[in-house]
Protein backbone atom coordinates (compact mmCIF):
# COMPACT_ATOMS: atom_id res chain seq x y z
CA UNK A 1 0.00 0.00 0.00
CA UNK A 2 1.25 3.48 -0.82
CA UNK A 3 0.62 6.73 1.05
CA UNK A 4 -2.61 8.46 0.18
CA UNK A 5 -1.93 11.70 -1.34
CA UNK A 6 -1.97 14.19 -0.88
CA UNK A 7 -1.68 17.84 -0.01
CA UNK A 8 0.97 18.32 -2.66
CA UNK A 9 3.04 20.33 -0.21
CA UNK A 10 6.00 18.02 -0.43
CA UNK A 11 8.12 21.00 0.51
CA UNK A 12 6.68 20.77 3.99
CA UNK A 13 6.59 17.70 6.16
CA UNK A 14 3.74 15.85 4.45
CA UNK A 15 3.69 12.33 3.15
CA UNK A 16 4.59 11.90 -0.53
CA UNK A 17 2.10 11.98 -3.37
CA UNK A 18 0.87 8.50 -4.23
CA UNK A 19 1.02 7.06 -7.73
CA UNK A 20 -2.28 5.24 -7.20
CA UNK A 21 -5.56 6.53 -5.73
CA UNK A 22 -6.13 5.66 -2.07
CA UNK A 23 -9.01 3.36 -1.15
CA UNK A 24 -12.22 4.99 0.06
CA UNK A 25 -12.32 5.47 3.81
CA UNK A 26 -15.65 4.91 5.52
CA UNK A 27 -14.79 6.10 9.02
CA UNK A 28 -12.34 8.38 10.77
CA UNK A 29 -10.92 5.26 12.40
CA UNK A 30 -10.22 3.78 8.94
CA UNK A 31 -8.45 6.97 7.95
CA UNK A 32 -6.32 7.06 11.10
CA UNK A 33 -5.45 3.36 10.86
CA UNK A 34 -4.34 3.87 7.27
CA UNK A 35 -2.17 6.78 8.37
CA UNK A 36 -0.54 4.66 11.08
CA UNK A 37 0.09 1.81 8.65
CA UNK A 38 1.25 3.82 5.64
CA UNK A 39 2.23 7.41 6.36
CA UNK A 40 3.83 6.93 9.77
CA UNK A 41 6.52 4.53 8.46
CA UNK A 42 7.35 6.93 5.64
CA UNK A 43 7.60 9.86 8.03
CA UNK A 44 9.82 7.81 10.30
CA UNK A 45 12.33 7.59 7.46
CA UNK A 46 12.79 11.33 7.21
CA UNK A 47 12.68 11.67 10.98
CA UNK A 48 15.54 9.19 11.21
CA UNK A 49 17.40 11.01 8.46
CA UNK A 50 16.94 14.43 10.05
CA UNK A 51 18.05 13.00 13.38
CA UNK A 52 21.54 12.37 12.04
CA UNK A 53 24.00 14.43 14.06
CA UNK A 54 26.48 14.78 11.19
CA UNK A 55 26.71 16.31 7.74
CA UNK A 56 25.44 14.10 4.93
CA UNK A 57 25.88 14.14 1.14
CA UNK A 58 23.57 16.37 -0.86
CA UNK A 59 23.36 15.78 -4.59
CA UNK A 60 22.54 19.36 -5.50
CA UNK A 61 25.14 22.08 -5.89
CA UNK A 62 25.63 24.75 -4.61
CA UNK A 63 23.60 23.78 -1.51
CA UNK A 64 25.82 23.36 1.55
CA UNK A 65 25.70 20.08 3.44
CA UNK A 66 24.99 21.34 6.93
CA UNK A 67 21.92 20.42 8.97
CA UNK A 68 20.56 23.97 9.19
CA UNK A 69 20.40 24.18 5.40
CA UNK A 70 18.90 20.69 5.12
CA UNK A 71 16.18 21.61 7.62
CA UNK A 72 15.44 25.01 6.10
CA UNK A 73 15.30 23.81 2.51
CA UNK A 74 13.22 20.78 3.45
CA UNK A 75 15.49 18.31 1.72
CA UNK A 76 14.16 14.75 1.53
CA UNK A 77 16.14 11.67 2.45
CA UNK A 78 16.28 9.20 -0.44
CA UNK A 79 16.66 5.86 1.30
CA UNK A 80 17.57 4.07 -1.92
CA UNK A 81 20.30 6.44 -3.05
CA UNK A 82 21.31 7.30 0.53
CA UNK A 83 21.42 11.08 0.25
CA UNK A 84 19.16 14.11 0.55
CA UNK A 85 17.35 15.41 -2.51
CA UNK A 86 15.21 18.56 -2.90
CA UNK A 87 11.56 18.32 -2.00
CA UNK A 88 9.04 19.62 -4.51
CA UNK A 89 6.09 21.77 -3.60
CA UNK A 90 5.60 25.05 -1.81
CA UNK A 91 9.31 25.41 -0.92
CA UNK A 92 9.82 26.62 -4.47
CA UNK A 93 7.63 29.64 -3.83
CA UNK A 94 9.95 30.87 -1.09
CA UNK A 95 13.23 29.86 -2.72
CA UNK A 96 14.55 33.43 -2.65
CA UNK A 97 14.05 33.68 1.10
CA UNK A 98 15.64 30.38 2.12
CA UNK A 99 19.32 31.41 1.94
CA UNK A 100 18.58 34.43 4.16
CA UNK A 101 16.76 32.26 6.70
CA UNK A 102 19.71 29.86 6.76
CA UNK A 103 22.14 32.72 7.30
CA UNK A 104 20.11 34.18 10.18
CA UNK A 105 19.66 30.77 11.86
CA UNK A 106 23.41 30.23 11.66
CA UNK A 107 24.08 33.73 12.97
CA UNK A 108 21.91 32.97 16.01
CA UNK A 109 23.54 29.54 16.36
CA UNK A 110 20.19 27.76 16.57
CA UNK A 111 21.63 24.25 16.98
CA UNK A 112 23.43 25.33 20.13
CA UNK A 113 20.21 26.58 21.74
CA UNK A 114 18.13 24.58 24.21
CA UNK A 115 14.35 24.71 23.88
CA UNK A 116 12.16 23.13 26.53
CA UNK A 117 9.12 23.09 24.26
CA UNK A 118 8.19 23.26 20.61
CA UNK A 119 6.50 26.59 21.27
CA UNK A 120 9.81 28.19 22.24
CA UNK A 121 11.52 26.82 19.15
CA UNK A 122 8.62 27.96 16.96
CA UNK A 123 8.88 31.44 18.49
CA UNK A 124 12.61 31.45 17.79
CA UNK A 125 12.18 30.52 14.12
CA UNK A 126 9.36 33.05 13.78
CA UNK A 127 11.66 35.74 15.18
CA UNK A 128 14.33 34.79 12.64
CA UNK A 129 11.82 35.03 9.80
CA UNK A 130 10.53 38.37 11.11
CA UNK A 131 14.06 39.79 11.05
CA UNK A 132 14.56 38.62 7.47
CA UNK A 133 11.21 39.99 6.30
CA UNK A 134 11.83 43.38 7.91
CA UNK A 135 15.10 43.64 6.00
CA UNK A 136 13.55 42.30 2.79
CA UNK A 137 9.83 43.19 2.83
CA UNK A 138 9.18 41.81 -0.65
CA UNK A 139 10.20 38.29 0.30
CA UNK A 140 7.76 35.68 1.63
CA UNK A 141 8.13 33.36 4.61
CA UNK A 142 4.93 32.89 6.57
CA UNK A 143 3.59 30.81 9.49
CA UNK A 144 3.51 27.54 7.52
CA UNK A 145 7.15 27.89 6.51
CA UNK A 146 8.05 28.75 10.11
CA UNK A 147 6.24 25.63 11.31
CA UNK A 148 7.90 23.35 8.77
CA UNK A 149 11.40 24.58 9.61
CA UNK A 150 10.73 24.41 13.35
CA UNK A 151 9.49 20.80 13.05
CA UNK A 152 12.61 19.72 11.17
CA UNK A 153 14.92 21.52 13.60
CA UNK A 154 13.05 19.92 16.50
CA UNK A 155 13.80 16.51 15.05
CA UNK A 156 17.49 17.32 14.68
CA UNK A 157 17.75 18.86 18.14
CA UNK A 158 15.52 16.36 19.93
CA UNK A 159 13.01 16.80 22.71
CA UNK A 160 10.98 19.67 21.33
CA UNK A 161 8.50 18.22 18.83
CA UNK A 162 4.89 19.54 18.82
CA UNK A 163 3.08 18.04 21.81
CA UNK A 164 0.77 20.44 23.66
CA UNK A 165 -0.78 22.12 20.61
CA UNK A 166 -1.84 21.11 17.11
CA UNK A 167 -0.88 23.73 14.54
CA UNK A 168 -2.95 24.24 11.41
CA UNK A 169 -1.99 26.21 8.31
CA UNK A 170 -2.99 26.09 4.64
CA UNK A 171 -4.16 22.55 3.75
CA UNK A 172 -4.15 21.40 7.37
CA UNK A 173 -6.34 24.36 8.35
CA UNK A 174 -8.75 23.43 5.57
CA UNK A 175 -8.74 19.85 6.82
CA UNK A 176 -9.53 20.63 10.46
CA UNK A 177 -12.36 22.92 9.35
CA UNK A 178 -13.84 20.09 7.29
CA UNK A 179 -13.57 17.68 10.20
CA UNK A 180 -15.48 20.03 12.51
CA UNK A 181 -18.04 20.71 9.77
CA UNK A 182 -18.50 16.96 9.37
CA UNK A 183 -19.12 16.69 13.11
CA UNK A 184 -21.47 19.69 12.98
CA UNK A 185 -19.35 21.39 15.64
CA UNK A 186 -18.01 24.92 15.81
CA UNK A 187 -14.26 25.35 15.75
CA UNK A 188 -12.99 26.12 19.26
CA UNK A 189 -11.27 29.46 19.86
CA UNK A 190 -7.63 29.64 18.90
CA UNK A 191 -5.69 28.51 21.97
CA UNK A 192 -2.32 30.08 21.26
CA UNK A 193 -2.08 33.57 19.86
CA UNK A 194 0.41 35.08 17.50
CA UNK A 195 2.62 32.74 15.56
CA UNK A 196 0.29 30.28 13.83
CA UNK A 197 -2.78 30.60 11.65
CA UNK A 198 -4.77 28.40 14.02
CA UNK A 199 -4.05 26.20 17.03
CA UNK A 200 -6.04 23.74 19.13
CA UNK A 201 -4.77 22.31 22.38
CA UNK A 202 -3.99 18.63 21.71
CA UNK A 203 -5.82 17.32 24.76
CA UNK A 204 -8.96 19.31 23.86
CA UNK A 205 -8.99 17.95 20.32
CA UNK A 206 -8.54 14.26 21.14
CA UNK A 207 -10.95 14.40 24.10
CA UNK A 208 -13.87 15.20 21.77
CA UNK A 209 -15.76 11.86 21.60
CA UNK A 210 -16.38 12.14 17.86
CA UNK A 211 -12.62 12.45 17.28
CA UNK A 212 -11.53 9.67 19.63
CA UNK A 213 -9.62 7.90 16.84
CA UNK A 214 -7.14 10.80 16.76
CA UNK A 215 -5.72 9.63 20.09
CA UNK A 216 -3.58 7.21 18.08
CA UNK A 217 -1.74 10.15 16.53
CA UNK A 218 0.72 12.69 17.90
CA UNK A 219 0.10 16.42 17.52
CA UNK A 220 2.26 16.78 14.42
CA UNK A 221 0.72 13.65 12.88
CA UNK A 222 -2.76 15.14 13.30
CA UNK A 223 -1.57 18.22 11.43
CA UNK A 224 -0.17 15.99 8.68
CA UNK A 225 -3.37 13.94 8.46
CA UNK A 226 -5.53 17.07 8.23
CA UNK A 227 -3.40 18.38 5.40
CA UNK A 228 -2.98 15.16 3.45
CA UNK A 229 -6.51 13.80 3.87
CA UNK A 230 -8.52 17.00 4.05
CA UNK A 231 -11.08 15.88 1.47
CA UNK A 232 -11.82 12.63 3.32
CA UNK A 233 -12.38 14.44 6.61
CA UNK A 234 -15.57 16.00 5.35
CA UNK A 235 -17.19 12.69 4.43
CA UNK A 236 -15.92 9.94 6.75
CA UNK A 237 -18.33 8.62 9.36
CA UNK A 238 -17.66 9.70 12.93
CA UNK A 239 -18.48 7.57 16.02
Whether 173 maps to a domain, the answer reads: yes
Model confidence at 20: pLDDT above 50: no
Whether 128 maps to a domain, the answer reads: yes
Report, in this order, helix, strand and coil percent for the chain, each rounded to 5.
Answer: 50, 5, 45
Do residue 73 and residue 126 come from a single domain? yes
Q: 199 with 168: CB under 8 angstroms?
A: yes
Do residue 105 and residue 170 come from a single domain? no
Domain region containing 182: 163-234
Residues recorded for the chain: 239
Per-residue pLDDT tens over the stretch 152-187: 888 878 767 888 899 998 889 999 999 999 999 999
> Looking at per-residue confidence, does 176 or 16 come out higher?
176
| Phi, psi for residue 166 in degrees, rounded to 5 | -100, 130
Do residue 115 and residue 184 come from a single domain? no
Using DSSP's 3-state secondary structure scheme, residue 78 falls into strand
Do residue 71 and residue 111 come from a single domain? yes
Amino acid sequence: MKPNNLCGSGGGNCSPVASVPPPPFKTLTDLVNNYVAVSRPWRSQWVSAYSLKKSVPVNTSPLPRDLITICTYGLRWDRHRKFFVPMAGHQRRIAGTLPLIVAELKKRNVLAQRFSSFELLFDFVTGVARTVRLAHPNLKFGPLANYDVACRLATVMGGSAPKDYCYFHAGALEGIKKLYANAKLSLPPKTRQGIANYTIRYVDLVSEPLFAALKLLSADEIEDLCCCSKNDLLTVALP
